[in-house]
Every structure is written in structure tokens, then in C-alpha cells.
Chains A and B, each alone.
Chain A
Amino acid sequence: MRRIAIAVCLLVLGSTVLGQAGRGVIAGKVTTDQGDPAAGVTVQAKDTAGKISSVVANGKGEYRLANLPAGTYEIAVPQMGLRTARYAQPDVVIEAARTLTFNIMLMPNNFGIIGDDAGFLQMYNKYAGIKGPAPRTRDGHPDFSGVWLANVDPNPEPAQMLPWAVTEWNRRRDRAFEGMPTSRCLATDPTLTLPVFYKIVQTPTLLIHLFEQDPHYRQAFLDGRAHPQDLDPTWMGHTTGRWDKDTLVLDTVGLNDKSWLLQATWLPHTEMLHIVERYNRPDLAHLNIDVMFEDPATFIKPVERHVQWLFTPGEELFETLCAENNKFLEYSAFK
């Protein structure tokens, strides 16, 4: 499981003299495990206080973070899509008045299976240059309609869970996460957070998510209704929404305890789970979503995730019926 990217790193201390005392530079090239330039990935340097400096690699996979105070950093490349794992290298020392050449090779995630990732970076780079103001609906609210390429939280914080939940999570890990509901063609997680495509259809009273996994839709009621009393727990729960200025706040309850919180690193939960999502579109290209998972029977404190989706207006969803030819239960080593 520990295939995060402690990959081949080439560290060469250069001798470039910088003009500003007490600060240094880290620069290099990011490649995939196939040796191709990983254009468009984000490279981060996190200092010991937790402050993150970041830059996006260019078309040749080259990056440069300048003007960093001398010190010790964690150099990371957040996971983008499904094909490459998150890279993280702690204890990288950046010296004053020097340039550290630090090349990064990303390691394959998920075995690098062809087609499991759908070319995330290719799609991301295709649409990353979109610019413009966020569109609005006739009633004046931001319009989230369209096809979006989602991504995971670039810096997920570990969850703090009660002992039963830690035991359950370890059990899932020890069984290679074979029990995830989607492997049995059951529902994806209720917050729609894999790095795949989602389509939003927005009306004044209803927000609909369409997606290529079961159950293929989620509806959020924006007409002012309250959650019904005594809900029967379901996979996707019951979602209502209200506007807080330009932010749409979605509130979900009525969830069963069978779903895995995929975005929140496949965590377990109980029927007490309450999810609050805040959708904000700062410009044409981006949709920022802040998610809070609150479940006092599972989490010591609420788990938060912060993701950014990219607008991909040239893409469309495909029909995807999982039960058509699912061989996983037959081929899995775990029975």
C-alpha cells in the first residue's frame, strides 16, 4: 500500500548565489513513471509551521519555487486523478542563497491500469486555461451547470476517529479495501468526490448531479423544504440547499451506514452522519467545494475536505452500468 511516491529523487546542490540572504530556491522536473513530463501538476513546499508554497509545473514538467526562507520542508505533489499517487518527501533542506535541484518521479497509483484514470492530466491541461467570470442564472445566483472534472483534496488531513472506527478502517486496509461498495455495483459515496467527471443541472428549485457510477444521480432540493422527519436511511441521504450570498450550502442527512466516505479516505460512519457542503464558483473555470463530515459516533471532531473542480464544457458523460459485466467478486482474493 505504501506506494506513495518515495520514488527516485535526484538531489544536487547547486551553487547559484542568490541576491536575497536567508532565502533559497528549489527547482526541477516532474515526470511520470513512464518518464513523460507531468505537465500541470502542482508542486508544494510545506515548512515546519505548516505554511505551503506552491507552483504549477509547465508543459515540460518543470517547476521552480523561489524565495523560500531557508529551512526544512516537505516537498509534495498532490494526487491528480487516479493514475499517479500522492508524492511526499519530508525533510528536504533548502539552504540560503542556493538552488536545490530536486527532480520528482511520480509513482503509479492503482497499478496504472489503462482507462481507470481517463487521462486526468490530459483533460486537466486541456481546460486549465479557461478564463472568465462565473455565469449567473436569471434569478441572479451563480450558475453551476455543466460538466466538471473533480479532484480529491490536495492536502487531506488525517481524520480523528473513535476506536471502533479506527479498527474498522484498519480492517478495510488489511483486506485491500476490497469491500468498497462500488466493487459490488452499490453506490459511490454521497459527496461525489472521486477525480472523475460530474454533470450539474441547476434550476431555481433543484440542483441535480449526474455521474457515471451508481446510483447515477443525486438531487438537492432548493425550494425551501426541510428534511423529512424520521427518514429511512439511504445511500445518498436527503439533501436540501440554501443560498448564503453566492455560496450554495447543501445539507445532507438520512444516510445509511453502508457507504464509504471515499473522499475522506474511505472512512466509515454511522447513520448519525451529517454532511455540509459549500459550493462556490469564483470564476468560469473553477468550483470550490468545502465539505464537512460530522458524526459524533465516529469522528472525534468533524472531518473537513476542500476540493476544486475544473469546468470542462467540451466533455460529456457516458452510460455506465456496473452490473453489466462485474467480475470483481469472482476474481477478488478475499471471500
Chain B
Amino acid sequence: MRNTMVVSVAVASVLAGTPAVAHHSFAAEFDITKPVALAGTVTKIEWTNPHAYVFVDVKDPQTGAVTNWEIEMGSPNGLTRLGWTRTMLKPGDAVTIEGSQGRNKANLANARSVVMTATGKKLGAASSEAAP
């Protein structure tokens, strides 16, 4: 019976911190302690399941070298319900993206925020939590 109590306490102490996810664990793929802020030009969109991807050319301001970043977002169904369309971002669009860096692939990140540079419009903004 003593073991039972120990088990219960052990489980109780860890369950509260469990994040919920729709498809997979983002913590396995991205490092929240490594935030990234990228400004660049869209080169490609993958409007696919289970995740959509935006590819962005980012120029290093010091060296001028261009790196193509791959940005992971939610699924098309989730994005659509936030008001996105598959043509909302097009190759050539200038964007600023904030997210977390990938763990296992260079130049991979996820998107917590995508802003159109030209207009300052934030796409799929978190303000969706507010009442309509």
C-alpha cells in the first residue's frame, strides 16, 4: 500500500505540466529556449498535412550570405479556421517571422508570429482568442 501512495504522488507531480498537442510533440522538434526572429523573402509554400511550411530566404546583414529557412506552422485545417488561405503568402512576399529554432535540422524553425513586412499585418494573430 505504501508503494501505491508513492506511485500516486509521483504521477500527480508530473501530469500538470503536460502540454497538449494536435499532432505531435513540438518539444521534440523545436527548442523553446532558442527563439528566432527572421526577416526575409518567401520562396515557397507547402500547403500540406499534417503541417504547412513556408520557406524564406534570409540575408545575413554582415556577410550578405542568403540562407533558406524552413518554417513549420499548424495544419491547413487549423490555419484555414484562423482565416488563412493557401495563397495568402506568395513567393516574393517580404515577411518577419518569430518562433523557435529546430533541434535536429539547421535553418528549421516554427512560427509563432508571421507579419507581412509591407503592411505590418500579423497573420493568424493570437488575438483570435479575443471575443469577436
Contact = CB atoms under 8 A, between A and B. Distances in A.
A123 B76 CA distance: 16
Contacts of B84: 115
A187 B52 CA distance: 20
Contact of B12 (A59, A79, A158, A325): A158
Given A40-B131, A82-B22, A114 B10 contact: no
Contacts of B80: 318
Interface string A152-194: 1000101111110010011001011110101101000000001
A111 B110 contact: yes
Nearest to B11: A158
Interface string B66-93: 0000001111111111101000000000
B74 A117 contact: yes
A332 interface: yes
B19 A3 contact: yes
A1 B112 CA distance: 18
A75 interface: no
A156 B16 CA distance: 9
Interface residues of B, number: 66
Contact of A111 (B51, B103, B112, B129): B112
Interface residues of A, number: 83
Contacts of B32: 3, 111
Interface in B102-122: 102-105, 108, 110-114
A121 B129 contact: yes
A252 B20 CA distance: 24
Nearest to B126: A34
B50 A185 contact: yes
B63 interface: no
A122 B128 contact: yes
Interface stretch (A83-91, A198-206, A221-229, A240-248): A83-91
A183 B127 CA distance: 28
A1 B114 contact: no
Interface of A: 1-4, 32-34, 36-40, 59, 61, 79, 82-86, 88, 108-119, 121-123, 125-126, 152, 156, 158-163, 166, 169-170, 173, 175-178, 180, 182-183, 185, 194-196, 212-213, 262, 265-266, 300, 315, 317-318, 320-322, 324-328, 330-334
Given A114-B82, A122-B82, A333-B104, 6 more contacts: A110-B22, A111-B100, A123-B81, A180-B25, A328-B29, A333-B28
